[in-house]
Amino acid sequence: MVAMFLMIDTGLMAPVRGWLRRAERLLANHPDAPAHAVVAMTRTYERVMCGDPVGALASATLSIELGRRLDVPPAVTIGQTATGRLLIAEGLVDEGLELLDDVAVQLMLGEVDPLTTGMMYCELICAAQGLFLHDRAREWTEVMERWSHGTAYGGIHGRCRVHRAELLRLTGPCDVAEAEALGACEELRPWMRREFGWPLVELGNIRLRKGDLLGAEEAFLAAHEHAWCPHPGLALLRLAQGDVVVAADLVSNAIEHPIEVPWKERPPFGDLRLAPLYDAQAEIAAAAKDASTLTVAATALRDIAGRYPSPGLAASAALATAREALLDGDIDAAIDAASAAMAAWTDMGAPYEAAQARVVLGQAHHLAGGTARAHVEWTTAMASFTGFGAIGRAAQMRELLAAAPETLHPRPAVIEPPAAATAVLRRTGRGHLVCFRDREVVMPDLKGLRYLERLLAEPGREFHVIDLVAVEHGTLRVRSTEGRRQGDVAPAPDVGLPVLDDEARNAYRRRLVEVEEDLAEAEAMHDLARRSLAQRDRDYLVAELTRAVGLGGRARTVGGTSERARSSVTRSLRYALSKLKASHSELGAHLGRTVRTGTYCSYEPDPLAPVLWDLGSPPTPASPEARTARSGSQRSTVL
């Protein structure tokens, strides 16, 4: 275990090998015991970090076998993780990811100790990052971040922060990503030696995208002082500084002579670790108009993407292909490849990469004579860079647009408003005639339809339910849009008892805080039964507090005028709409989307599908005497 700690936090392989040899010597004449499994799992990663895939696979196989036979779960988990990453390095991506998914289940079930759990979560994320599987890396990072609260120790917190910074470098914004990377550097400074270059390089990459070239150079050079490869970030920095020749030389040398750093944060061996370098080389060669180097880089990326299938690698290869085709003059191929890269990066939620693809796509359209299309792509790219926080790249796009010919600026399109459909809701005797889109139905005289008629008469206006009931009962005349007319009767005062009094509501809120703490602790401890009970209590408390609060956060009452009116109007409207949908599904669907119920009811027209309503003569409320006479006549008929 001393060797394991040394390997994790220092990268000093000579003392690691010394401790391992000592352990193996002490165990040489003993029958198989759990200590043998521990040595095998430690030897596995010693071989990985020394660049020996064959020896690492043999040790991983032994670690799994001994761990299962001697009941040492960490040996099984670590052996499976190493095997999965080794399979991926050999191009067996599906098989490797399947093993890593099984490891993730073991970690979430809490089958191993916190040190192993934290390190293997880190391994899962690193494997996904190396394959450009950003969605999977994001999911595992979120799981690791939740697990780390109250559980992780040592450098695990800092490693998790580096992974969050890596993902924020893709999704933005830059300021948040930079803060996360700086926090990771502070947390990992006491724990890492050579591997401390990892968060420093990430900090440099973020600052480079942000446009802070001096800050990026400081971070990259600090990483280089820790014997950590600063490329491709440093090469791209030289490109941003305008030194294309030096940038090309740096990235070419990094590809030909990769620094053999004992690390596991990226693919430790194989062509997969060269993908970011080839991606940068393609960008630099395109800027230098070096067609031969660009072809080499694009070909290498297509080959890697073919052997290690992933959306991110495919998008990277597509963008390099677009740059290659653009330099060769094959405009159609450049448009197709750049469009594919832009769509893929957009789907992955990587706005900076998508904007880079749009820049190339705009160049292709410009050369093809599609100046308006080029302007649209460049404008969108500028907006993406600005929202991401890439101030330098956004400024470059503004300069490009300012230098573009005037013909690139499209005239604003005249957008015709959508034509309004016509609908009819009209009273006919004892029923309602409903017409919409050449279909006509007759509905019975439902109370909910009379409420609906009132809402349709003034689209967008909110009616208090007491007003709707008063209009229906003839105690309130129909108001104009200018406000209440003289003689209108004010709604009856709202009197009722609160659903929850202040004391009960405060008690529920205090209990909810306790349940939230209990739920967080249960999730941290992976206690599924306790989490289920806490979640059930939380759902109940939230439901009760929600039920007790009305519009605008006011306490809801029961038994009062408003509450009784709200229940009656809502029930009547929903019943009428359900009947209308059964008879006229299209109109019922439209009204279901646009009619709002509650203490205040309204009809909110759909601006994308406007409807012009013909209600016949304005709805006239019946007098109390007429309603009494009509109800008496109806009772006589029934009798």
| Those residues with Cβ within 8 angstroms of residue 33's Cβ, 6 or more apart along the chain or in another chain | 27, 70
pLDDT tens-place string over residues 208-250? 998 899 999 998 998 888 777 888 999 999 999 999 999 999 9
Q: What is the mean pLDDT of residues 144-165?
A: 72
| Those residues with Cβ within 8 angstroms of residue 374's Cβ, 6 or more apart along the chain or in another chain | 362, 363, 365, 366, 404, 408
pLDDT tens-place string over residues 378-433? 889 998 888 888 888 888 888 888 876 544 444 444 445 566 778 888 887 778 88
Residue 122 DSSP SS3: helix
Tell me what pLDDT residue 427 has.
84
Tell me what pLDDT residue 154 has.
63
Q: What is the mean pLDDT of residues 1-7?
A: 74
* pTM exceeding the 0.85 threshold for the entire prediction: no
Interstrand relation of 557-558 and 497-498 (parallel, antiparallel or unpaired)? antiparallel
Residue 602 DSSP SS3: strand
> How large is the angle between the packed helices 114-130 and 93-108, nearest 10 degrees?
150
DSSP-assigned letters across all residues of 329-349: T-HHHHHHHHHHHHHHHHHTT
DSSP state of 242: T
Cβ 129 vs Cβ 85: under 8 Å:
no
Q: Is residue 274 very low, low, confident or very high in pLDDT (cuts 50, 70, 90)?
A: confident
pLDDT tens-place string over residues 322-362? 999 998 889 999 999 999 999 988 888 888 999 999 999 99
**Cα 380 off chain centre by:** 21
Q: Which two tokens stand for residue 320?
A: 């390099």
Picking from 259, 258, 252, 260, the residue whose alpha carbon sits closest to that of residue 278 is 252
Q: Look-up: residue for tokens 């779960």?
A: 73
Q: Which two tokens stand for residue 589?
A: 């669907």
Q: Within a 10 A sphere around the Cβ of 122, how many other Cβ atoms?
A: 23
Cα 155 from Cα 165, distance rounded (Å): 15
